[in-house]
Amino acid sequence: METPVDLTVGDLHASVDDPALNSMNFLNEVAQHYPDAVSLAAGRPYEEYFDVAALHRWLDRFHRHLVEDQGLGPEQVRRTLLQYGRTKGIVHHLVARNLAVDEGITADPEAVVVTVGCQEGMFLVLRALRTGPRDVLLAVAPTYVGLTGAARLVDLPVRPVAGGPAGVDLADLAEQVRRARAEGLRPRACYVMPDFANPSGISMDTAHRRRLLESAAEAELLLVEDNPYGLFPVGDADRPPTLKALDTERRVVYLGSFAKSVLPGARVGYVLADQRVAAPDGSVGLLADQLAKIKSMVTVNTSPIAQAVIGGRLLEHGCSLAGANTRERAAYARNLRHLLDGLARRFPPDRFPGVSWTAPAGGFFVVVTVPFGVDDALLHRSAQEYGVLWTPMAHFYDDGAVVNALRLSISAVTPAQIDLGLDRLAKLVADEVAALVGGGADWPR
Amino acid sequence: METPVDLTVGDLHASVDDPALNSMNFLNEVAQHYPDAVSLAAGRPYEEYFDVAALHRWLDRFHRHLVEDQGLGPEQVRRTLLQYGRTKGIVHHLVARNLAVDEGITADPEAVVVTVGCQEGMFLVLRALRTGPRDVLLAVAPTYVGLTGAARLVDLPVRPVAGGPAGVDLADLAEQVRRARAEGLRPRACYVMPDFANPSGISMDTAHRRRLLESAAEAELLLVEDNPYGLFPVGDADRPPTLKALDTERRVVYLGSFAKSVLPGARVGYVLADQRVAAPDGSVGLLADQLAKIKSMVTVNTSPIAQAVIGGRLLEHGCSLAGANTRERAAYARNLRHLLDGLARRFPPDRFPGVSWTAPAGGFFVVVTVPFGVDDALLHRSAQEYGVLWTPMAHFYDDGAVVNALRLSISAVTPAQIDLGLDRLAKLVADEVAALVGGGADWPR
C-alpha cells in the first residue's frame, strides 16, 4: 500500500533539511541504535551525583527564599511559582549574584534574561540581530552545532573565523569582517567560547582575551560569549577572567548555562545583555528587554518551577556553582587526565605517527587527529563493529568537507568506560591505518 | 549626563518594534502600574485552588509511573528526569491518553511534540511553514496576539479572515485564499480557535466545524487548531468535538495547552502534528519530527521536571483533565454567569442603547461593544481614574484601527471583584457616553 503524503520537506523551512539541524538527530539516532557501544560522544554532564530527591529540597529552598528573603505571603508565593510570570525570569537576582561570586562579573539583574536553556538565549540573540539578508554572523570554527542550527532558523549565514592555537585568530577575524563588509554584508557579532571550547577544548589566555576585546572594538563588532564549561578546569590555577568580566564598553553579550553546573533537565540558562538600545521615541533601554519581547512570543517565560530548582541549588551554596561542583570538577579532571594518559599509552608516536590530540586544561572535550577521513559512515562502523561512539569533527564545520579528526568527550563516563572505549578506538584506528597503507601491512604494529 | 547608546531598535529585527510584541508588554506594564485596579484584563487561570505542595505530589506520582509502569531503575529514572532528553518529550504517551479520554482524539504518541507552553508549539509550526516571502498565514479575526507575535518572529504576514457569529466566515475564508493566490502568495494554513475563542468567546457548532474542514479541504489548506479553553463550558451539555477529532485526512495541526487545565508555571504544552512529510530520499515521516528538529535549536527539549509535574497531574486523574478541573470549571461558570448578569443589570438597553456584549457558552472572555472608540489612552484613564483594567479589542486586530469594544476576562477574579470592576466600568462607560452626547447631557440617566 502506498504511504499517503501530506507535505514534502521542500514545503517546510529550509532549516529542517540542513545538516546543522540533522546533525544532532543523527548522532542521537546512532547512540540509540547501538546502546551497548561505549559513548565517548555524549557531552552531557556526569550523572553519578544526580539525585532526584534534591529536586524537592531545592524547590523548598527557593520557596523559603521567597518567604524569608523576599517577604512574600502564601498567595504571592503560589502566584510566583505556579502562574505566568515575569518574562525575564524570577532568579535573575541569583544569577547576578552567581556571576559576581564565580566570575567577577558585575551584572545588573535587570540585564539578565532567564531562558529555556542557553539554547533559547542563543536563539533570542540571533533573532534580534538578524534584520535582513545583509546580516551575517561570525563564529570561531570549529563551532558548536547548536549555534549554527539556531542561526539557520533565522536565515542568518554563519561565516567561520579561524580558531588557531590561541582560541581565535585575530588577523583572520579582522580579515573576515573586512571581507564581509566589502561584499556589502553586515557582520553583526562574533560567537566565541573562550573557556574549554566545544569542540576544540581550547581556552584563550587573559592577554588574548584582552586583544580580542580590542579587535572587536576596532571592528565595531559585538561578541557573543558562550561559557558552559568555564567551571571545570583540571587544576587549581586561577581561571582567566571571562570576556564579560573584562568588558568595559558593553561589547559582550554573555550566554550562561546551568545544564553542566546544576542539571540539564531544568532547561534553565540565561543571557546577560546590558547593551543600551535607543528606541524611536528617544527612550533608552536594555538589550535584555528587547530579547524579552522576543522571548514572550517563543516561550512566554521560563518555567518558574524549573527556575526554582536552579534557584534553590544556587541558594544552597551562597550562589557559588564553583563551590557546588567540587565533586563534579574532580570527576571531570580525573576523567580528562585518564583519557589523555590513555591516548598516550595507546597511540605512541613511533607506532602512530599520524595520530595526535589536543591537551585541554579543562572542560569536556579532546580532539583526536588521525591520518584518515572521519565521516558518518565510519562512525556507524565504529559503533557496529568496534562498539565505541565518538563525534566526527566534520559536524562542527559548516562546509560539509571531510575532516581527519574526531571529538572525544569525558563527561558522562567512568574511567573504566574510558579504558574500554579507548581500547576499541585504538583497534579501529589501527585497522583504518592498516587499510590505508595496504591490506595486510604490518604497520602499525 | 548623556546616556550612552550601543544600538538602536532599528539595528534589531523588526518584530521588536511591532505592535504585536509590544501589546503584551504594554498590558503588563499598565497592570503593574495600577496594582490596586480591579483586573478584568488578565486571562490567567483561577488561583484559589493552586497548591505549591501539589508540585511535590505530582513529581512523586510521575516518578512512580516511571518505576512501576515503565519499569525504570533508579539510574534510568534520574537520567529521565534530570538529563537532556527526548526532543519530543517524555509525557507524550500521557498527552495521547488525555486526548483520547477528554477529546475523543486518537493520537499517535509519536506525533506529539511536548513544547514549552503552547506558545512554543505555535512558534515551531509557523517556523516550519514559513519558507519564503510568498508564504502567508490566515487567521480568524480578532486573533490571539501570541499568534500574531509568533508570526512576526518568522516574518510571516497574517491575513485576517472574518470570524462572524459562527466562529469563521467560510465565504470569506475562500475569498481570502483566492485573493492571496491571485497575488502570487501561498496561504500555508488558517489559524482557528473553535472553542470559546480568545478574545471573541465564540464557539463553532459541530456542523460548522465539519463545513470548515470541507472548506479547508477544497482550498487545500492546513488548519491550525488552538484549544486552550475547550474544557471550560458553562453547562453540562455535550461539548462539540474538536476539529482534530473530526479530521479524517490529517488536515489539522492541533495545539494543546496545560496552562489553564493544570498550571501556567510548568510551561508545558504540545503540538499534535500527524501530517506525513516526504523527505528528498523518499522516506516518509511525521511533521512532528520536523518540528522536533526545529525545537532542538530553540529549547533543545522541554524540561522533564516540568513535564513530570504535568504528567503526575494527568496520572492522578486517569489522564482526564475534564475530571481534574471540576472545581475550576464550576468557578469559571459561576464567574461567567455573574459577569453576564452584572452586565445586564448595569447596562439596561433603554439607558445604554449603544452597549452590547457577547454571551459565550464557556471560556474566559466576554466582548463588550460600546458607542465610542476604545484605545490604550482610555485604558490608562480607566486604570487611573476608575480603577478597573480590561483589554482594548484593538490589540486583537492587526491593522492599528480603533475598535469600539473591549474584552473582559472572568478567569482570575472573584464574584466580588467582578461586581466592583463592573461598577467601575459602568461609571467609565456612562462618563464616556455623556461626553459623546455633550457634557452635561442627561443621557444616559
Round to whole Å and give the CA distance between A323 and A306. 21
Query: What is the pLDDT of chain A when averaged over all its residues?
Result: 95
Interface of A with B in 226-265 (CB under 8 A): 250, 259, 263-265
- Is A2 within a domain? no
Q: How confident is the model at residue A28 (pLDDT cuts 50, 70, 90)?
A: confident
- Is B4 within a domain? no
Taking an 8 Å cut-off on Cβ atoms, the answer to whether B84 and A264 are in contact is yes
Among A276, A302, A323, residue at a domain's last position: A323
| Contact residues, chain A, for B12 at CB < 8 Å | 128-129, 131, 277, 290
| A187 at interface of B, judged by CB pairs closer than 8 A | no
Query: Bigger pLDDT: B133 or B235?
Result: B133
Among B290, B323, B356, residue at a domain's last position: B323
Taking an 8 Å cut-off on Cβ atoms, the answer to whether B298 and A120 are in contact is yes
- For residue A25, what pLDDT is reported? 80
Q: Omega of the bond prior to A444 within 30 degrees of 0, cis? A: yes
Unique residue bearing C-alpha cell 523588526: B14
Q: Please give the order of strands across the beta sheet that includes A135-141.
A: A112-115, A269-272, A252-257, A222-226, A186-192, A135-141, A158-162
Chain A residue nearest residue B118, CA to CA: A299
ipTM value? 0.96
Question: How near does any CA of chain A get to the CA of B256, in Å?
Answer: 14
Count Cβ neighbours within 10 Å for each residue of A356-377 and write b for 16 or more, e otherwise: bbbebbbbbbbbbebeeebeee
Identity at A269, one-letter amino acid code: G
| B108 at interface of A, judged by CB pairs closer than 8 A | no
Taking an 8 Å cut-off on Cβ atoms, the answer to whether A13 and B127 are in contact is yes
* Residues in contact with A214: Cβ distance below 8 Å, sequence separation at least 6, in sequence order: none
Please state whether beta strands B222-226 and B252-257 pair in parallel, antiparallel, or not at all (unpaired).
parallel
Contact present, B169 and B163 (Cβ < 8 Å): yes
Contact present, A159 and A175 (Cβ < 8 Å): no
pLDDT in tens, B287-314: 999 999 999 999 999 999 999 999 999 9
Interface of B with A in 357-416 (CB under 8 A): none
Round to whole Å and give the CA distance between B276 and A60. 45
Joined together, the cell numbers standing for residue A192 give: 566565541
Nearest to B123 among A8, A20, A298 (CB): A298
Do A423 and A285 sit in the same domain of this protein?
no
Q: Does pLDDT of A245 surpass 70?
A: yes
Q: Does pLDDT of B2 surpass 60?
A: no
Do B167 and B310 sit in the same domain of this protein?
yes
- For residue B445, what pLDDT is reported? 41
Whole-angstrom Cα Rg for chain B: 23
- For residue B439, what pLDDT is reported? 55
Round to whole Å and give the CA distance between A26 and A154. 22
| Contact residues, chain A, for B51 at CB < 8 Å | 78
Do A296 and A347 sit in the same domain of this protein?
no
Q: How confident is the model at residue B3 (pLDDT cuts 50, 70, 90)?
A: low
Share of chain A above pLDDT 70, in %: 98
Please state whether beta strands A112-115 and A269-272 pair in parallel, antiparallel, or not at all (unpaired).
antiparallel
- Is B369 within a domain? yes
Do A317 and A339 sit in the same domain of this protein?
no
Share of chain B above pLDDT 90, in %: 90
Over range B398-406, report the average pLDDT.
92
- For residue A248, what pLDDT is reported? 95
DSSP A233: B
Taking an 8 Å cut-off on Cβ atoms, the answer to whether B24 and A296 are in contact is yes
Over range A401-422, report the average pLDDT.
97
Our measurement of the distance from residue B45's CA atom to the centroid of its chain's CA atoms, rounded to an integer in Å, reads: 12
| Contact residues, chain A, for B123 at CB < 8 Å | 297-298
pLDDT in tens, A86-139: 999 999 999 999 999 999 999 999 999 999 999 999 999 999 999 999 999 999
Identity at B439, one-letter amino acid code: G
- Is B444 within a domain? no
| A207 at interface of B, judged by CB pairs closer than 8 A | no
- For residue B112, what pLDDT is reported? 98
Which sign, positive or negative, has the C-alpha torsion A118, A120, A121, A123? positive
Do A102 and A189 sit in the same domain of this protein?
yes
In terms of residue numbers, what domain contains B368? 9-48+326-436
Q: Does pLDDT of A1 surpass 60?
A: no
Nearest to B47 among A7, A13, A83 (CB): A83
Angle (nearest 5°) at CA A291 between A136 and B310: 120
**Exposure of A131 by Cβ count < 10 A (0-12 exposed, 13-18 middle, 19+ buried)?**
middle
Taking an 8 Å cut-off on Cβ atoms, the answer to whether A299 and B117 are in contact is yes
- For residue A236, what pLDDT is reported? 75
* Residues in contact with B140: Cβ distance below 8 Å, sequence separation at least 6, in sequence order: B160, B161, B162, B163, B167, B168, B190, B191, B192, B193, B197
SS3 B192: strand
Joined together, the cell numbers standing for residue B72 give: 525504570
| A317 at interface of B, judged by CB pairs closer than 8 A | no
| A79 at interface of B, judged by CB pairs closer than 8 A | yes
Taking an 8 Å cut-off on Cβ atoms, the answer to whether A267 and B299 are in contact is yes
Q: Omega of the bond prior to B199 within 30 degrees of 0, cis? A: yes
Q: Does pLDDT of A441 surpass 50?
A: no
Do A18 and A109 sit in the same domain of this protein?
no
Among A308, A323, A338, residue at a domain's last position: A323
- Is B3 within a domain? no
**Exposure of A232 by Cβ count < 10 A (0-12 exposed, 13-18 middle, 19+ buried)?**
buried
Task: Give the residue from A305, A395, A413 with the most B CB atoms within 10 Å of its CB, the best one to mutate.
Answer: A305
| Contact residues, chain B, for A52 at CB < 8 Å | 63, 77-78, 81-82
Do A182 and A304 sit in the same domain of this protein?
yes
Do A200 and A269 sit in the same domain of this protein?
yes
SS3 B256: strand
- For residue B74, what pLDDT is reported? 96
* Residues in contact with A112: Cβ distance below 8 Å, sequence separation at least 6, in sequence order: A88, A89, A92, A95, A96, A270, A271, A272, A288
Q: Does pLDDT of B85 surpass 60?
A: yes
Chain B residue nearest residue A116, CA to CA: B299
Greatest alpha-carbon pair distance for chain B in Å reads: 77
Do A122 and A38 sit in the same domain of this protein?
no
Do B136 and B88 sit in the same domain of this protein?
yes
Do B295 and B403 sit in the same domain of this protein?
no
Nearest to A278 among B5, B59, B117 (CB): B5
Residues listed for chain B: 445
DSSP H helical ranges for A266-412: 287-296, 304-316, 321-324, 326-346, 376-381
DSSP A2: P
Per residue, what are the HEC states of A238-254?
CCCCCHHHHCCCCCEEE
- For residue B441, what pLDDT is reported? 47
Round to whole Å and give the CA distance between B82 and A427. 34
User: Bridge-partner residues for B276, per DSSP?
Assistant: B286
Nearest to B50 among A15, A82, A264 (CB): A82
Q: Structural domain tally of chain B?
A: 2
Question: How near does any CA of chain A get to the CA of B17, in Å?
Answer: 8
In this structure, what CATH number is given to the domain that contains residue B32? 3.90.1150.10
- Is A247 within a domain? yes
Round to whole Å and give the CA distance between A311 and A170. 38
Do A318 and A354 sit in the same domain of this protein?
no
In this structure, what CATH number is given to the domain that contains residue B129? 3.40.640.10
Taking an 8 Å cut-off on Cβ atoms, the answer to whether B299 and A15 are in contact is no
Q: How confident is the model at residue A237 (pLDDT cuts 50, 70, 90)?
A: confident
pLDDT in tens, B120-148: 999 999 999 999 999 999 999 999 999 99
Share of chain B above pLDDT 70, in %: 98
Count Cβ neighbours within 10 Å for each residue of A134-173 and write b for 16 or more, e otherwise: ebbbbbbbbbbbbbbbbbbbbbbebbbbebeebbbbbebb
Taking an 8 Å cut-off on Cβ atoms, the answer to whether A149 and B266 are in contact is no
- For residue A444, what pLDDT is reported? 46
Task: Give the residue from A77, A223, A293, A295 with the most B CB atoms within 10 Å of its CB, the best one to mutate.
Answer: A293
Round to whole Å and give the CA distance between B82 and A138. 33
- Is A3 within a domain? no
Task: For the beta carbon of residue B123, count every other beta carbon within 10 angstroms.
Answer: 29
- Is A159 within a domain? yes
| Contact residues, chain A, for B216 at CB < 8 Å | none
| B209 at interface of A, judged by CB pairs closer than 8 A | no
